[in-house]
Amino acid sequence: MLKKIAGLVAFFILITAGCSKDDICSQDTPTTPLLIITFNDINNPTQRKTVPGLTVRATSNNQNIVNAASTDSIAIPLPTGADITEYRFIRSTNSEPVSDFYTFNYVREDVYVNRACAFKTTYTNLTAAGDGTADWIFRVEVNNQTIEDETQAHLTFFH
């Protein structure tokens, strides 16, 4: 009888030793960062300037990414499955909406976070180029070519 109890205990220990609690990705764990863009005054480049009625639309699927009444900065996603993306930046005031197209090129790198969160994508060698029309965005400045976090602006648009 003692052998059966010892066998059951040993069996139970072997079964539970391989188990672990469910892993849950914490809200505090950094994941794939967003592209941070600030908007500054073209006439006074150090001053932030709000954009009235800003809409940012992905040209690949014509989906709105941002709809803001008025803002001086935005955070937008970059695709994790492509090295290039194009967004249409639309400014709506009392008059006709105006828009500019910007293409972002970058190199993606998948970084292992942990078992619960799996991977995140970071981006390096960021470049931004307009379509040449400059309807309302007159200049772009790349502040940080590496997108690893969301602590500072990566791009500044001057309008």
| pLDDT confidence bin for 19, thresholds 50/70/90 | very low
Tell me which residue of 2, 65, 71 sits closest to 34, measured CA to CA. Answer: 65
Q: What does the pLDDT look like over 33-50, one tens digit per residue?
A: 999 999 999 999 999 999
pLDDT at residue 101 in the model: 97
Q: What percent of the chain has pLDDT over 90?
A: 71
Say if CB 40 and CB 156 are below 8 A apart. yes
Lowest average pLDDT, out of 15-29, 85-99, 117-131, 145-159, goes to 15-29
**Which ranges of the chain does DSSP label H, i.e. alpha helix?**
2-17
| pLDDT confidence bin for 6, thresholds 50/70/90 | low
Q: What does the pLDDT look like over 85-107, one tens digit per residue?
A: 999 999 998 778 999 999 999 99
- 98: tokens are 């105006």
- Partner residues linked to 66 by β-bridges: 56
Q: What does the pLDDT look like over 115-144, one tens digit per residue?
A: 888 999 999 999 999 998 889 999 999 999
Alpha-carbon distance 60 to 159, whole Å?
25
pLDDT at residue 45 in the model: 96
Alpha-carbon distance 88 to 132, whole Å?
13
Is pLDDT above 80 for 10? no
Alpha-carbon distance 118 to 120, whole Å?
7
Name, in order, each residue with C-beta under 8 angstroms of 85's C-beta and a sequence gap of 6 or more: 58, 60, 78, 79, 103, 104
pLDDT at residue 28 in the model: 83
All structural domains of the chain? 33-158 (2.60.40)
18 DSSP 8-state letter: T
Number of H helices, E strands in the chain: 1, 9
